[in-house]
Amino acid sequence: MSESAQIAAFENVPGAGDVRIHAVDKTYPGRSGSVTALKDVNVSVKGGEFVSILGPSGCGKSTLLRCVAGLDHPSQGSITLGGQPIDAPPLDMGFVFQRDVLLDWLNVINNVLLPCKLKKLPIHQWKPKALALLKLIGLAGFEHRRPWELSGGMRQRVAICRALLLNPTLLLMDEPFGALDAMTRDELNLELQDVWLSNAKTVLFVTHSISEAVFLADRVLVMSRSPGRIVDVIPVDLPRPRTLSVRETPAFTKYVAHIRQLFESFGILRGTNVR
């Protein structure tokens, strides 16, 4: 079966987007003995679910995401996607990094088409999809611009299009909006919700912003550090599509307050400097 046929085949298969993380440990060899980055992590994510992974820096949330991406491997335990163990980056996965990692020497459209080029899929078949994605995210007419002509928010939008190009069943995002200013971040949160609502795929979204985690997610995984583990899983029951004003509702602030108290009880926040 050709790779494009494989990618097409992943769609519409029940359970294709399910992610199961079972008893995962990750240790790194360090100078003074080994360092435990993840300890006994168990998560089950349903296909099409939006899950935020929230925690302080150094809690292993990025490590967990990299393990799901097949870019890193757990020391113990197993991770499956659609029932298949992940030992290499899955074919139907998109990854968005904190920095946009656009290639300076390619224009916008060719940056979006990069996964297609690397997988040797026919460009002409995927170009309309790339243009449609750019249009969806508000970048119509920017196809031939160079990355260095774009603002930070526009660059990250292009990176999201690149991750979505091959219509992945699994989208992994590692603090994708962490480097953006607050207003651009709000805009992109809304756009990400739109994209996800229009084409439900499993999303694992790593962040250290409590309100961003709650705003976007169906469920929030709360992580603590040393060792990195999941301390609570909080289902977010807020109607969709959510608007920015949802953040001022009592229901929303209750979720945020609850998570903040959770961090405080683990000695991570001291009741001050909360976003």
Partner 1 sequence: MYDNSTMETGKRTLSVLLVLVAFLAFWQLAVMLLRPPEYLLPSPVAVAKELGTAPEWYLSHAVRTIGATLLGFAAALGLGFIAAVGIVYSRILENTLYTLLVALNSIPKIALAPLFIIWMGTGLTSKVAVSFTIAVFAIVVDTVLGLRSIDPDALDLFKSVRATPLQILIRLRFPNSLPYLFAGMKVAISLALVGAIAGEFVASQAGLGYVILAAQGSFQTTRVFAAIVLLGVLGTILFFIVEVLEWVVCPWHVSHRERS
Point out which residues bind partner 1 (CB under 8 A). 66, 69-71, 88-89, 91, 93, 95, 97-99, 101, 103-105, 114-115, 117-119, 146-148
Q: Please state the closest distance from residue 70 (CB atom) to partner 1, in A.
A: 8
Q: Minimal distance in Å, beta carbon 246 to partner 1?
A: 32
Confirm if 227 and 60 have CB atoms less than 8 A apart.
yes
Least Å distance between CB 6 and partner 1?
12
Strands 19-30 and 33-45 come out as antiparallel
Q: Which is nearer to partner 1, 10 or 252 (CB)?
A: 10
Alpha-carbon dihedral angle through residues 55, 57, 62, 64, given to the nearest 10 degrees: -50
CB of 15 or CB of 89, closer to partner 1: 89
Looking at the Cβ atoms of 118 and 183, the one nearer to partner 1 is 118
Residue 181 near residue 151 (C-beta atoms within 8 A) = no
C-beta of 70 vs 152, nearer to partner 1 = 70
Phi-psi region of 226 (alpha: psi -120 to 50; beta: other; left: phi over 0): left
Cβ neighbours around 27 below 10 Å, total: 16
Q: How far is the CB of 263 from partner 1 (least distance, A)?
A: 27
Q: Are 193 and 161 in contact (CB under 8 A)?
A: no
Q: Which is nearer to partner 1, 66 or 185 (CB)?
A: 66
What one-character-per-residue DSSP string does 46-60 give?
Answer: -TT-EEEEE--TTSS
- CB 187, min distance to partner 1, A: 23
Length reported for the chain = 275
CB-wise, 101 or 131, nearer to partner 1? 101
| Cβ nearer to partner 1, comparing 100 with 218 | 100
- Shortest separation between residue 136's beta carbon and partner 1, angstroms: 21
CB of 23 to partner 1, least distance (A): 25
**Residue 155 neighbours by CB under 8 Å, 6+ apart:** 100, 102, 147
Rounded CA separation 35/9 (Å): 40
CA dist 228 and 73 (Å) reads 15
